[in-house]
Amino acid sequence: MDAMTSQLSAGPRLEVHPDRMLPSDPALRSLARELYESVRALPIYSPHGHVPAQWLADDEPFADPTSLLITPDHYVTRLLHASGIGLDRLGVGQTTFGPGQSREAFRTLCAHWHLYRGTPVRFWLESELAEIFGLDLAPSAETADALYDAIAERLATEAFRPRALYQRFGIELLATTDDPCDDLRHHARLAADETFTGRVVPTFRPDAYLEPARADWNTRIDRLGEVSGVDVDSYAGWVAAMESRRAYFTAHGAISSDHSHADARVEPLDDAEAERLYALGRHGAITPAQADTLRRAFLFEQARMAADDGLVLTMHPAVYRNHHPATFAGYGADVGADIPLQVEFTRAVQPMLAAFGTSPGFHVVFFTIDETVYARELAPLAGFYPSVFVGVPWWFIDAPDAMARFRSSVTETAGFTRTSGFIDDTRAYLSIPARHDLSRRIDAGFLARLVAEHRLSMDEALQSAHELVTGNPRRAFKL
């Protein structure tokens, strides 16, 4: 890399300090560094994410810096949008986006680098530039082209193909997120490919099939019936079809199902009422309130299936999807216009935990962007129920200060063992190592403080740091 790096034109240097994100106090820094170093190079478990399996199955080179680093990453595009840059200029939702546009988008990002001060996006991208691409120029209007060319040059090489990066990143397990009707062909190809030694597993994500108020619900249910070969014209049929597809996913290596609805409620219905509402939904005659009721019963069924088939149930509730209708119309979903909502768990999940909370096969991980539930609800739940794990900070709060708040809020009630282990939940493949690295740094800083305040011995902290990276995800996700 050094040779490539030296070819870059002059400009502000990129400084990626080895101790970045560790506490600044010298005594804490020293402890944190030792803790961080002890886990820095451990393998990556990524039990929840959004990288397409096809990338690894095909192992084609990435096309260009912008389509890899900017366009699909709503963390990156949203702050540019907030500063007046149209999403179209960043390639979002564009059917064609030529090399000139791609380069221009990259220039736009670099010229607005100051927008990311204090955000984790900066940490991720700078870590990628320095540690994956071996570059030492700070992004700016003047360095944009040099950076673009250097990245493009590297992406064309064998070392930057998806599988080579998978090895280099030290990934032990990578979970994708998939539609229940997906045939998982790419997962099957990877499993059958002896030249690929990694582990890429699907995740069962049936959200759209649980929301009868959606315009596309009946079409999706029809398709569910076709794919599963089960008659879905009854609630019982829906259940059987879901069981069939979960079995298909399990057979393809799935370890979890993931669920994201407007609230966290999970509530059973008696059979007759379930059938009645289901019929209304199938006839397009269901009210929004009835659709919510049915959705909560559908989710209860998923929990029951989870207790039976052992798939870990993960919940990412309470997001207002596509908050800006014009953006949705123009650019589609997942472009940065999803906004979190307040959430409630204690009452919402009580029926589920009353039924399955101590079932041996049942594991549930609760993720939240509403930090108020960590100390108030999730830590108390996970500190009692053997099935419950507190998910680490997700999405907007997958960030250094928020991670520190998370440990401070959860640990005093639930300790370290009842948390999920880090998940990156990202579409940005190249950011995976940086995301896990950031988590390890912050946890090291938190543990360092406990040692410095004589709450833990250093031996214990070293052991817990290791557990958070390996034991916790393996236990929560049954790896």
Name residues contacting its own copies, limited to 300-339 (CB under 8 A): 320, 323-327, 336-339
474 touches its own copies (CB under 8 A): no
Give the shortest CB-422-to-its own copies separation in angstroms.
16
Give the shortest CB-167-to-its own copies separation in angstroms.
29
Residue 425 Rama label (left phi>0; alpha psi -120 to 50; beta): left
Q: Which is nearer to its own copies, 287 or 457 (CB)?
A: 457
Residues of this chain, 270-289, that bind its own copies according to CB under 8 A = none
16: Cα separation from own chain's centroid:
25
Single out the residue of 74, 72, 137, 67 nearest to residue 102, CA to CA.
67
For residue 85, the one-letter residue type is I
Give the Cα separation of 154 and 416 in Å (integer).
Answer: 40
93 touches its own copies (CB under 8 A): no
Give the Cα separation of 479 and 475 in Å (integer).
Answer: 7
Size of the site for its own copies (CB under 8 A): 92
Give me the 354-393 binding string for its own copies, x by CB under 8 A, dash otherwise: x--xx----------xxxx--xxx-xxxxxxxx-x-----
89 touches its own copies (CB under 8 A): no
194 touches its own copies (CB under 8 A): no
* Chosen residue from 275, 463, 466, 478 binding its own copies by CB under 8 A: 463
Within 8 A by CB and 6+ apart from 19, the residues are: 29, 33
Give the shortest CB-140-to-its own copies separation in angstroms.
11
* Chosen residue from 43, 118, 284, 332 binding its own copies by CB under 8 A: 118
Give the Cα separation of 49 and 426 in Å (integer).
Answer: 5
25 touches its own copies (CB under 8 A): yes
Q: Which is nearer to its own copies, 28 or 242 (CB)?
A: 28
Q: Which is nearer to its own copies, 120 or 281 (CB)?
A: 120
Give the shortest CB-54-to-its own copies separation in angstroms.
29
344 touches its own copies (CB under 8 A): yes
465 touches its own copies (CB under 8 A): no
Give the Cα separation of 401 and 396 in Å (integer).
Answer: 11
123 touches its own copies (CB under 8 A): yes
* Chosen residue from 2, 10, 41, 84 binding its own copies by CB under 8 A: 84
Residues of this chain, 400-439, that bind its own copies according to CB under 8 A = 400-402, 405, 408-409, 411-418
341 touches its own copies (CB under 8 A): yes
Beta strands 319-320 and 200-201: pairing type?
A: unpaired
* Chosen residue from 42, 63, 115, 191 binding its own copies by CB under 8 A: 115
Place of tokens 């902290």: 461
114 touches its own copies (CB under 8 A): yes
453 touches its own copies (CB under 8 A): yes
350 touches its own copies (CB under 8 A): yes
Place of tokens 């900066």: 122
Q: Which is nearer to its own copies, 53 or 80 (CB)?
A: 80
Give the Cα separation of 119 and 125 in Å (integer).
Answer: 11
205 touches its own copies (CB under 8 A): no
Give me the 386-405 binding string for its own copies, x by CB under 8 A, dash otherwise: x-x-------xx-xxxx--x
